[in-house]
Amino acid sequence: MNFDDHLFFCAPSRLIIREGARHDLPALLAKLGYHSGILVTDSYFAEQTPWVSEYVQAAGKCGISTYVFSGGEPDPSTTLCDQATQHILAQTQDQTPDHVIALGGGSNMDLAKALTLTLRSKKPVAHYKDGIGNDEPLPFIAVPTTSGTASEVTPGAILIDPDNATKIALMDNRLRPFIALVDPQFTYTCPPRVTADAGIDALIHAMESYVTMDSNQFERNNNPDPGYSGRTHLSKMFARESMMLCARHLRQAYLNGADSQARIGMSYASVFAGLSYGSAGLNAVHGIAYSIAGLTHETHGRTNAVILPYVLYELRENRLQELKEIAAIFGITGQGHEHEHDTVLQLVRTLQTLVSELGIPNNLKDFGIKEADLPRLYADAMSVTRLRNAFAVPDTSASYLRIIANAWAGEFTDTPLAVLRHVQESQEACTSE
């Protein structure tokens, strides 16, 4: 154990993981004294499943009135949030609810987190782009239907600003759910592609937080209540458990969604990964993936997955011990120091294969990125400074160049010269202009 950890750990007040746990939520909220709630979901869950109506009826019997907003959308926008705020307040006669529930994946939870602020303050969500200040959000209950985002245990929400196609991040520990209720039964009907996208995201959260910046080196900017604060012994414990569960259950959950043990295993894997990265933070995988998404408009899980092996390969010097530990989780064991490089290479190629088996391209070229797009991809990735600064390498600029060049070619080399030279020349041309 590292006694030099600068541990700062936040988690939901109540974390519940159990098949059928959703049936206990109304009684729990009634015991805690709640009376009037908003349930944020989307049309699929409201119209194609019995889950919403079942909850509303059961909550009513416990003396809790619930207004259902079913207008959730993938990658919610600031416009949607503001429209939802006005709609809900109009439908509830401008009465502020005493709690907000999200049922769905990460997008529904992002919207609901934002609504915990805007429904109470009645301010537009853009007001919070630089922080939530002294505005206290409403109590938030997260009920995820996928195993991957772990938004049910993390402090942030991402919304799209349609005016400039940028993302607004709401980040504050007060946005963490005070109840995270994880019922694996919600995931049983999750289609294969969503299962793959969410599941690989859980694995990436665990891996990325396992190799991120140490807590005693993490820049907190004098924030006494940081959302992310670097990896610690505790965060690594959660990450290891998540990786072991993903190694055991991710493929099976994708191939056979009816396998309840695989589904339950991935539910735990997602939460454990969230407890790790929700404290430690993330770095280059997500930082570069945001730029890939901007070019391809592919889903979050897929854009993370395509870049993952190449980011880990870049860490083979600075995080060698951790990569060997991850390799062992996947059954890869090297013999002696002279084979350490081979162990890392086996690991990243194993992950390449896993990405392909989940139906996701394993290189940027096959992902639709053109060589001419690489300078923009590099520049956009470097602009995500929070994630770039958490990448544990001496020179992030050079590392990002190598990662992107390798990922485009689908190779693991020390100096991917041809593509690297193209990106560097383009950057130099832009600088000289």
State mean pLDDT over 189-213. 97
- C-alpha–C-alpha distance, residues 26 and 35, integer Å: 10
Nearest of 273, 288, 32, 304 to residue 154 by alpha carbon: 273
More confident call, 393 vs 337: 393
Quote the pLDDT of residue 418.
62
Out of 157-161, 367-371, 420-424, pick the least confident.
420-424
Quote the pLDDT of residue 162.
87
DSSP letters of 290-342? HHHHHHH---HHHHHHHHHHHHHHHTTTTTHHHHHHHHHHTT----SGGGHHH
Quote the pLDDT of residue 341.
83
Position 433 pLDDT exceeds 60: no
- C-alpha–C-alpha distance, residues 356 and 150, integer Å: 23
For residue 27, give Cα distances in angstroms to 59, 64, 185. 7, 9, 19
- C-alpha–C-alpha distance, residues 363 and 181, integer Å: 36
For residue 134, give Cα distances in angstroms to 118, 137, 172, 410, 430. 13, 9, 11, 48, 42
Quote the pLDDT of residue 417.
56
Position 141 pLDDT exceeds 80: yes
Quote the pLDDT of residue 3.
78
- C-alpha–C-alpha distance, residues 246 and 249, integer Å: 5
Average pLDDT of the residues of the chain: 93
Q: What is the pTM of this model?
A: 0.94
Q: Where do the domains of the chain lie, and which CATH numbers do they carry?
A: 14-187 (3.40.50.1970), 192-431 (1.20.1090.10)
Quote the pLDDT of residue 430.
60
Per-residue model confidence as pLDDT tens digits over 246-278: 999 999 999 999 999 999 999 999 999 999 999
Per-residue model confidence as pLDDT tens digits over 295-351: 998 999 999 999 999 999 999 999 999 999 999 999 998 765 656 789 999 999 999
Q: Residues with Cβ < 8 Å from 181, sequence gap 6 or more?
A: 16, 21, 22, 25, 141, 142, 143, 152
State mean pLDDT over 387-415. 93
Quote the pLDDT of residue 166.
74
257 membership: H or E segment, kind and range: none
Position 62 pLDDT exceeds 60: yes
